[in-house]
Chains A and B, each alone.
Chain A
Amino acid sequence: MTAPAAAAGAAAAGAAVRAPFTGRARRELLFCVLGLPLSLPLPVVGFAVTIWLAQVAGPPWTADGNPSWLALLTAAAVVVLTAALMVATGLTRALAAAVRRTAGKLLGEHVTTPPPPRTRLGDGPGWRAMAYLMLKLPAGLAEWYVVGVFWVAGIVNLSYPFWWLSFRNHSPGVRLSPVPVVTPFTWSGVGGHFQVTTFPGTFAAFGAGAAMLLAAPWVTRGVVAADRWLIRGLLGPGRLTQRVHDLEQTRALAVDNAAERLRRLERDLHDGAQIRLATLAMNLGMARKKLGDQGAVPDVAAARELVGAAHRCAKDALVELRELARGIHPPVLDNGLGDALASLAATSAIPAELVVSVPVRPTPAIETIAYFCAAELLANAAKHSQANTIKILMTERAGFLALRVTDDGIGGVDPARGSGLSGLAQRVAVVDGRLDIASPPGGATTITVELPLRAGHR
């Protein structure tokens, strides 16, 4: 074993020893303990009805002192009715909310609350929550089993050597009955009868307890994982509902973005080209007045100067309009992303290295979004990164277009601090794309934008 491998092994062993004492183990243990009662109402109702019928009512509810089939069927019907009642009154939803809260707090499992029900009994999320409560019975029993056998029994086993001497110090020759030791195998029939009869034997129990406690966090994690899976699947809004919710949000974003872009466009026109053209017209009007309709011109110099000013205004207006038009849709994009990104990279304030490998052409809408993402990322890097070089990589893989912009700047990009990245993420989300930011403070920043080749094809 080499030195680093040994160190890694020691670290792993240390982690394994510490595992039972971590906060995570504690929280998962607490979750296991709290969970089971939630699943009990229905079984208790069913059991109570069955017992009551079997004990109190006579035939036809009992057969040979046992509940008859009729009694069992009736109990089942009562259970179903109770379930319906729990759904209709919103009790299941309340219980589901409690589970979601607990799971969020203890497991870090954050599940979105489903939308409110439309009708009392046609409450899909309510019935799915009911299904969770039913499945919670086996899941909760498994959790309690783990708590009892691994944690409680593990601790009890550890204690054997300590009380043995105090309670079992009988005079020699007295024969004592053996003390059973509970292990996960106790009820399995495999080496099931672990008993201690002597003081040295208690150390075997101690060892078993230690092993059980070391295994406990991992077994707990296993049963909790199953529960997490149930929570995610049954207590959330459901895939379709979640999708609808996401679509509603991105649609609202798209509408807002479109309105905002139009407003900005109007503002740019109003403050830019329009005012220049108005000034141009005013200057020409003044020049025309100076020149008069015919005959000699008294103040040629002033007229010349006004025409010169008008000429400048006209040229400025042309520049502004061109910039504006390019901001709406860069004409070079019609030749494909390669050309468009090349001209973008060529005008970048920070030297940019460009690699484009996109054999399949995306739809124009996707090309436009990809282009503006690249433009925004370059502008952002130029503004904030203090980088010396930027790498732009655009590739296509499995129906997705990936744009990766990497700079060697100061890092620490935080989309929450309004760097235009959140707006970009919204724009990308509208077509089911995604934006990933890797920007450790002081390190290189890599921002990856992934877009489907065509909008609407997931």
Chain B
Amino acid sequence: MRIAIAEDAALFRAGLVRLLEDEGHQVCAEVADGEALLAAVASQRPDVVVADIRMPPTFTDEGLRAALELRRVHPGTAVLVLSQYIETRYAAQLLHGSPAGVGYLLKDRVADVAEFTDAVGRVAAGGTALDREVVSQLLAASRHAGDLDPLTPRERDVLALMAEGRSNAGVAAALVLTLGTVEKHVASIFGKLGLPASETDNRRVLAVLRYLGY
């Protein structure tokens, strides 16, 4: 995959480049602010953009605004936003409309190389990667919190992983279950919550997130 990286901390940016190149990806652009990112995407047309939220000049939400702009101008380019803290409002803005090809992760997640590269791959393939911190905040604040009571603890785990954007195979790997067991759990969850079963992962994420009050 061709990847563009926008991150103002040089140390971390170099680490990211190395990590992604070690995994066999090609980093076609390394920039340090939102403007440069938009220019780089326009000229390099990467498959995925990995962008820090807080960058110069304002050090507020540069990366997020650049990401939203990218989603509008280059819908085909997947965007994975990294941040040192999680704001559900930012997640809502990113996912607004469609969760396809979008990710929002804590920077800490890069420590788990496999998990991080899996998220990059998922986003690049048009999927979703939502940080479990976002999902747990959503679950905690969900106006349907009472409705989740019928779910077994295991089903709640599966629901959370689905909300993060994982496929059945991903859920199975994360929980060390067989694919069949996961499918059974998913069917049970959808039945209990009264959600329409959907074929694609995106529609499923959307359904779950909508249910959780997004």
For chain A residues 284-320, which have a beta carbon within 8 Å of chain B? 284-286, 288-289, 309, 313
Per the bound structure, the CA–CA distance linking A338 and B182 in Å amounts to 68
Q: Is A64 an interface residue (CB 8 A)?
A: no
Q: Which of B12, B54, B59, B112 is close to A279, meaning CB atoms less than 8 Å apart?
A: B12
Interface hit among A87-95, A266-274, A360-368, A398-406? A266-274
Interface hit among B16-24, B71-79, B121-129, B168-176? B16-24
CB-defined contacts of A283 to chain B, threshold 8 Å: 15
| CB nearest neighbor in A for B112 | A285
| CB nearest neighbor in A for B111 | A281
Count: A-B pairs, CB below 8 Å: 49
Is B59 within 8 A of A282, CB to CB?
A: no
Is B19 within 8 A of A278, CB to CB?
A: no
Per the bound structure, the CA–CA distance linking A278 and B110 in Å amounts to 8
Q: Is A17 an interface residue (CB 8 A)?
A: no
Is A281 within 8 A of B108, CB to CB?
A: yes
Is B19 within 8 A of A282, CB to CB?
A: yes
Is B111 within 8 A of A284, CB to CB?
A: yes
Is A286 within 8 A of B18, CB to CB?
A: yes
For chain B residues 36-75, which have a beta carbon within 8 Å of chain A? 54, 59
Q: Is A427 an interface residue (CB 8 A)?
A: no
Q: Interface 1/0s, chain B 100-119, versus A by CB < 8 A?
A: 00000001101111101000
Is B110 within 8 A of A313, CB to CB?
A: no
Q: How far is the CB of B55 from chain A (nearest CB, A)?
A: 11
Is B18 within 8 A of A279, CB to CB?
A: no
CB-defined contacts of A274 to chain B, threshold 8 Å: 84
For chain B residues 3-25, which have a beta carbon within 8 Å of chain A? 9, 11-12, 15-16, 18-19, 22
Per the bound structure, the CA–CA distance linking A404 and B113 in Å amounts to 56
CB-defined contacts of B59 to chain A, threshold 8 Å: 267
| CB nearest neighbor in B for A289 | B113
Is B11 within 8 A of A285, CB to CB?
A: no
Is B9 within 8 A of A286, CB to CB?
A: no
For chain A residues 174-211, which have a beta carbon within 8 Å of chain B? none
For chain A residues 377-405, which have a beta carbon within 8 Å of chain B? none
CB-defined contacts of A288 to chain B, threshold 8 Å: 113
Is A313 within 8 A of B84, CB to CB?
A: no
Per the bound structure, the CA–CA distance linking A279 and B82 in Å amounts to 13
CB-defined contacts of A259 to chain B, threshold 8 Å: none
* Further 12 A-B residue pairs, CB within 8 A, beyond A267-B59, A278-B110, A309-B15: A270-B54, A271-B9, A274-B84, A275-B9, A275-B12, A276-B11, A278-B12, A279-B9, A279-B12, A279-B15, A286-B22, A313-B11
Give me the 9 closest cross-chain CB pairs, A-B, nearest first: A281-B111, A285-B111, A275-B9, A282-B110, A285-B113, A278-B107, A282-B15, A289-B113, A279-B12
Can you show 8 pairs from A to B with CB atoms below 8 A apart?
A270-B84, A271-B9, A278-B12, A278-B84, A278-B108, A278-B110, A279-B11, A282-B16
